[in-house]
Amino acid sequence: MDSLDLDPVIDKDGVRLTVDDAIATVTLNNSAKRNAQSFALWRALAEAGRALPGSVRAVVLRAEGVSFSAGLDRQAFTPEGFDGEPSFTDFARGSDAELDAVIAAFQEAFTWWRQPDVISIAAVQGHAIGAGFQLALACDLRVAADDAQFAMRETSLGLVPDLGGTHPLVAQVGYARALEICATGRFVHADEAARIGLANLVVPRAELDDAVADLTAALLAAPRGALIETKALLQGATARSYDEQRAAERAAQGRRLRELAGLGD
């Protein structure tokens, strides 16, 4: 069933969440502004994460229109900011603890995509700039259209990427390339994104939705417990020593064998 035919769980502030059994679809749907992001959109994305039913195994992040997301709405950088919201200047006047809490709340929109019991896939077309790039990086996997262009523009504004994007970027492409991408703010086009590991797959724009659907179906073909354990093993691999990773593999396999034998908790 097409996600557009489903009744939305959430549909506000440029975000629509629909759920079809094991698949949730989060759609950025402010195409008139190229899905530029606002504080309200971030709150809606965080709410979408909290609203996922336990039946969901895969989350698809997609966007309407020509671009995935043009990044943070430029209105945020005006002295008045967004209507009814504190401005960046207001945030800067707060204490260190208050400012930290504000940014932590913004980050909630970007953190839940890698939770252990789901696999998230970003379908990226057109521009994914700044916060848009970081949102794509928040997902476990990325399928890019051949017109996709990624750029991290925060440093050109005197800022840093602070929405959780630096960790997965370094993990995907390495420190030196991540520094070059962030420091220059240049565009990484789809073919390069595939070559350096930012994109798992690049397809013609017209085939993007079908490619994501095929990948999602392949992910759902495996037993849920095996995917959860495998994801946890891979997520923790770089933080463990070789021997620690082998021990984690043994423990995970023991849990799987017991469950398959009907001896689980």
Q: What percent of the chain has pLDDT over 70?
A: 98
* Kind of pairing between the strands at 10-12 and 15-20: antiparallel
Residue 265 has pLDDT above 90, yes or no: no
Q: Between the CA of residue 108 and those of 38, 42, 43, 55, 79, what are the distances in Å?
A: 14, 8, 8, 22, 25
Average pLDDT of the chain is 96
DSSP, collapsed to helix, strand or coil, labels residue 163 as coil
Q: What percent of the chain has pLDDT over 90?
A: 93
How confident is the model at residue 173, as a pLDDT?
97
CA 181 to chain centre: 18
Q: Which residues are CB-neighbours of 78 under 8 A, at least 6 positions away?
A: 87
Residues 208-236 pLDDT 10s: 999 999 999 999 999 999 999 999 999 99
Mean pLDDT of 96-105: 97
Per-residue burial over 9-23, b = 16 or more CB atoms within 10 Å of its CB, e = otherwise: bbeebbbbbbbeeeb
